[in-house]
Each structure stands twice: as C-alpha cells, then as structure tokens.
Structure 1
C-alpha cells in the first residue's frame, strides 16, 4: 500500500491542532473497548428530535481535524442536527476494518464503540433514531461501509469518499498504509455482487431488515485507494439493497463528475470524479440532501 505523503501528514497534523469551540469531549458514553475519543457538535439551537451524523476521519486524522475539513458543524448550526466526530488513535489513526472483531457486531472492535456513541447521543438529546447517518473519507469511508454492514439497523443512509467495500481488508495485519496488506487498496480484491453481499451479511448473521442507502464517491486518479474499489463498493451495496445499475448522468454534481444511478436513484448512487486523486473533496451540500436534511 503506498505511503501517505509527507504533505498529507503535515496537513492533517496542522488541522488536528486547530481548536473548535463548538466541539466538546464526551468521556463516558458506554462500552468503549478500543478507547476511542468522542467529540460531539451540538448546536445552541437544537432541533426537536434532532438528526445525528457520525463523521469519520481519514488515516492520520482526528475528529477535530475532520470537523475543520468538512464543515458539517456549520450546517448543524443552521439546521439543528448533531454531529459526532470520533477519533481512533491506533494504527496511525486508521479505523479498525481488518480484524474479525472489527468486522463483527458487538465483538469489541472500533465499530462497537462508535455504535455506543450513537446510542448515547440518541438517549441524551432525545434524537430521532430514524434519522441517523454515517459518512467518512478514505479510512473513514472504509469504516462507513463496515458500520453499515455491522449495524445496519442504526443508520438510515450513508455517504463516503474514497473507500473500499466492507470486508475488503479482512485478515490484513493492519488497516493503515504502513501496516496493511496492499492487495485491497490496490484494487485487487474483486468479487461478484453475490459474494460481496454474503461477506457483508456474515458480519451480522440473521439480520433480515433493510440496509442503509448509500452515496459513494471516488476519484478516477486515486493512487492510494485505487479506483476499482469504487466498483466493488457499488457491487456490494447493489446486492444488499436489491438495485441494479440504470444510467449515468454526466457532469453531476459538477463538471468532470459522473453520477451513476442504481434503481430509481433513491437507494444507491455513485459519483466518479475524473482527474481527481485521493481524496475526493467532501460535498456537504450533496451529503445533506442525500440524508434528507
């Protein structure tokens, strides 16, 4: 797996040092087996039964840095929803998307701690459990896919940028650019939609409910998490959501992007970004529209 550039590390370190007065730290939100940090953005004018967004940072990042990079908090102040910006501090601050416990429900992985953050927030702020969403970039997108597979009952919809299908890194010795088996990131883990569906369903055996809607974005020129991973995500979620590819819309939402629509476009869409590397810039307006916020 290629190394994260020095420029990227420097940028993420600088962003991590940017304080944000609207964020507060929660130290006791329930079981936290991997010692994650919970940062929460609660607007001063909270909506009645507010929605929740779980926003997951990149490798090398932090929740505080991701709040600065994405500006979801600004939208939260305007619309009255809550944003959780967690931090993982292991494996170069990359999310646990490779281990058996991390790819299982209630088994002691990062995903369990993240789920407990959501449950805590729903209870404390009387939030709307039907309006919980997850998003992330790079490692955060990988974890978004895992959260959708292991806790599908918690989320209504998801968006993510530059990630891989749930289970792509299964069995890898690590999940960071320096520790992972490079096969997944290099776009060499290729499965059928049926195989990817079985992979995800094995993470929560016996679940017969619906899976979250997904909008996923990827740069064609990504040379860290290579572009074939975009197609593998779409195969996995087309199988889980029971929709097939129907059409492309060019230059959506902007020039050089192609919107790939599955079914009627309400359950699964992909955005292919020509000439864009790693990472596709976050599109918060499109994310919030996808979430119905």
Structure 2
C-alpha cells in the first residue's frame, strides 16, 4: 500500500507538472489590451466545465477557433499562461478557447475520455460541454465554422483525439501532444492512477481495431475527416512513447493510408517527423521528440501546430496580388528556375510560396537562394531546409521532394516578418 501511494503521488505530481508548468518561459507577447476572460452560461454543460476565452485585438471578421486543453491537475488559465498558443494567436488573429476540466480521476481536473457517455457523439460529459464552447465563440465573435481546431497536452491531448473522432464535422484538424488513441481507456478504473492497461505500456491493437473505434463513434459519417498531428517524447514513460505508434495506426487506418510514411524529415534538431499523405495532401503527421519526457509542448511547437492547421494570420481586406520574381538571368535549357507569390499578409508579416520548376531535364536535388530587402526575416519554413540569416537565405530540398521530373515542379512555403516585398530568387541543382 505504501508503494502504491508513492506511485500515485509521483504520477499526480508529474501530470500536474505537465498541466501547470509546461513551457513556463512562454513567448513574450506583444503589447495588447486582449486578456483571458471567463465565460459563464455558455450553453449545455453536462461536464460541469469552466470556460475561458482569449480573443486577440487584431483579427478578421470570421476568425479561426482553436480549443487548447490542459493536462491532468491543470486548468485553462494555467495552460494559457504556460503555453504559447495565445502569443501565436496575437500574431495570426485566431480565438483560443481554454476549457477547464473538473472530473475527478484519482487526482482531479482530467478530461473525461473514459466514460461511456463521453465516447458517444452527443452522449454527454466533457465533449458536449466543449462543443457548447465552440458554438458560443461562433455566435459571440463570428468564429468561422469551417476553421475550428483542437489541441492539448497529456489529458488534453487525449481529448483532442477524442473530439476529432466524435465530431469530425466540427473540427478540421487537431494536434495532440502526449495523447492516446481514441477509446484507449476501457472505463474509469482503467484511467490513471489505477492499473491502466491503456497507459501501462502493453497496449497493442491492430490498425483496423483502432480505426473501427473511430468509425463507430459516429456511425454512417462519410464526410471529410480532420487531419491529425501527433507529438510524443521518446523518453516519456508516464504516457508511454509506444502509444504514439498506436495513434498513428488509428488515424492512418481511418484515412485508408499505408503504415509506411510517405516522407520523413527533421524540421528542427531532435524533431523527427513522419508524414502520411494521400493524393489530396498530408492527412497525418507524427513528431518523435528525441530525449523528451512528459513535457510537451515546448518552445515553437504551438506555432508548428498552428501552421499544420493552416492558420496563417488575419486575411487582408482585399486579396494580395500574386507577384513573381524571376531568376536574375534566364536559366539554360534543362536547369531549374523558381517563382514566387505572396499568399497572404498582415501587419508586420506575410506568408510566401516558392515554386521550383524543372526544365527539360529532371532535377535530382535543388537549392533556392532568396534575397530580401532589409528588415525581412524568415521565421518558419516548410517543405525545405532553411539556412542563412538576415535578408539572405538558402532553401534546400528535403528527402522527399528533391526529385522533380522534367517540366515538373514542387513548392515550399514560409512565414516572414517585414513588409512583404518579393525576394530575388536563384535556383541551382547539383
């Protein structure tokens, strides 16, 4: 009994640390009058939850909505102050809902992913309360029903997978940090700190079994499924790292995809990413964070989740004109070239897209040089490897997009601070 109490206390302490102290040195937020606000009487609330909302001062008329959920022992306000989602919302103009769970699962404040009511669409408990919060944000602030997303850490990551399974018609994508697959917990007795089969390190089901659990959550649903981003530390023993693979198996089966990734890369040192794509794009991506324990999200991960969602900032009042910066000199026959267009802009920043073109012969690798006017800095890039600083950068292909067929093309994108002036481009291939 003494050993059990010590294990229980250790688990509670670790989960509370995950819920309350993640990324304590959060990003410095720009000066703003926006603040976290509690909302009462937001609608049907069978889970007895609390709702807080963060609405940035600068936002479009129909802002995206992100539901950000804490870990066990935490709260919405604590997750707001210890994570980077609000500071990213200031930059990109989306609303963040911070629910606070009140369920008692041994040590309190865990999102209900174990009860039969919570496993049924419209069945009650926390999932219905969360949907009421989303509906409130849409009604009160004009939130875009076509841009609603879920994310969370530990218990909140578990609920992220839960909401994507139960309400695929509401959520367009989700990012689960240190979560477990939908329907992993058999019941309340199987939830920590009891002897959980789900998080005990021995959970192993087939992809079809996991996929069937999601399909049975909303029988007959034939619409588009939300895209899924999964994060886990390789040294996480509280929610064992192998559960990342079980989650991958669940969602790739739901999308009818192979268990073999279509691409792998390392966007940042220690961030090993696997992507699973169909003809319409990446449906599932999974990050293995080397050496990390039960401590996610850490710095930069909130921004990566928001980029995966496709939230890139308040849209301009009128669509920006596409601009093209041709190579400094016409490429010889068969060489590569590059063209640029601005996808969107907002005060102090913009999103750009570069298309790499092959000539009359195929490319086997490429490097694009981007020269910007002073005051521009690239802050994030995808589908390439970035080097350089200041106003001059080089972007090299990653493993899966270096081969470009004759007369074909591939695309990479980026976010940058600055005026949005088009870069001067060069393109070279080995």
Q: TM-score, normalised by structure 2?
A: 0.63
Q: 1:187 aligns with which of 198, 201, 206?
A: 201
Equivalent residue, structure 1, for 2:114: 98
SS at 1:182 equivalent: coil
SS at 2:77 equivalent: helix
Q: Could you list the per-position Cα deviations for residues 160-203 of structure 1 after superposition, in whole angstroms to 9, with x for gaps in the alignment?
A: 1111000001324263x32x442111232211111111111211
Q: Is the 8 A contact 2:47 2:102 kept in 1?
A: no
1:58 is aligned to 2:84: no
Q: Which shifted more, 259-268 or 142-151?
A: 259-268
Unaligned runs of 5+ in 2: 1-6, 25-32, 312-430
Task: Spell out the pairing of 1:104-115 with structure 2 (5 A cutoff).
Answer: 104-115=120-131
Equivalent residue, structure 2, for 1:279: 295
Question: Once the 2 structures are TM-superposed, how far is the Cα of residue 9 of structure 1 from its aligned partner?
Answer: 3.6
Q: Is the 8 A contact 1:29 1:116 kept in 2?
A: yes
SS at 2:100 equivalent: coil
Equivalent residues, number: 287
Question: Once the 2 structures are TM-superposed, how far is the Cα of residue 280 of structure 1 from its aligned partner?
Answer: 2.8
Q: Is the 8 A contact 1:133 1:155 kept in 2?
A: yes
Q: Could you list the per-position Cα deviations for residues 112-161 of structure 1 after superposition, in whole angstroms to 9, with x for gaps in the alignment?
A: 10011111111221111111000001110100010001111111111011
Q: 1:289 aligns with which of 290, 307, 332?
A: 307
2: CA distance between counterparts of 1:11 and 1:227? 15
Q: Note closer, same or farther for the CA distance 1:167–1:12 as it changes in structure 2 (3 Å cut).
A: closer
Question: Once the 2 structures are TM-superposed, how far is the Cα of residue 72 of structure 1 from its aligned partner?
Answer: 1.0
SS at 1:183 equivalent: coil
2: CA distance between counterparts of 1:152 and 1:6? 33
Q: Is the 8 A contact 1:248 1:258 kept in 2?
A: no
Q: Could you list the per-position Cα deviations for residues 39-66 of structure 1 after superposition, in whole angstroms to 9, with x for gaps in the alignment?
A: 0001122312100000010011000011
Q: Is the 8 A contact 2:47 2:124 kept in 1?
A: yes
1:241 is aligned to 2:255: yes
1: CA distance between counterparts of 2:133 and 2:285? 27
Equivalent residue, structure 1, for 2:53: 40
Larger RCO: 1 or 2 (CA < 8 Å, sep 6+): 1
Unaligned runs of 5+ in 1: none
Equivalent residue, structure 1, for 2:11: 4
Q: Note closer, same or farther for the CA distance 1:7–1:88 as it changes in structure 2 (3 Å cut).
A: closer
Equivalent residue, structure 2, for 1:216: 230
Question: Once the 2 structures are TM-superposed, how far is the Cα of residue 11 of structure 1 from its aligned partner?
Answer: 7.9
Q: Which shifted more, 93-102 or 42-51?
A: 42-51
Equivalent residue, structure 1, for 2:133: 117
Question: Once the 2 structures are TM-superposed, how far is the Cα of residue 256 of structure 1 from its aligned partner?
Answer: 2.0
Which one has a bigger Cα radius of gyration? Answer: 2
- Deviating beyond 4 angstroms after TM superposition, the runs of 4 or more aligned structure 1 residues are 10-16
Task: Spell out the pairing of 1:61-210 with structure 2 (5 A cutoff).
Answer: 61-91=74-104, 92-173=108-189, 175=191, 177-178=192-193, 180-210=194-224
More strand by share: 2
Q: Is the 8 A contact 1:57 1:63 kept in 2?
A: yes
1: CA distance between counterparts of 2:209 and 2:20? 38
Q: Is the 8 A contact 2:18 2:296 kept in 1?
A: no
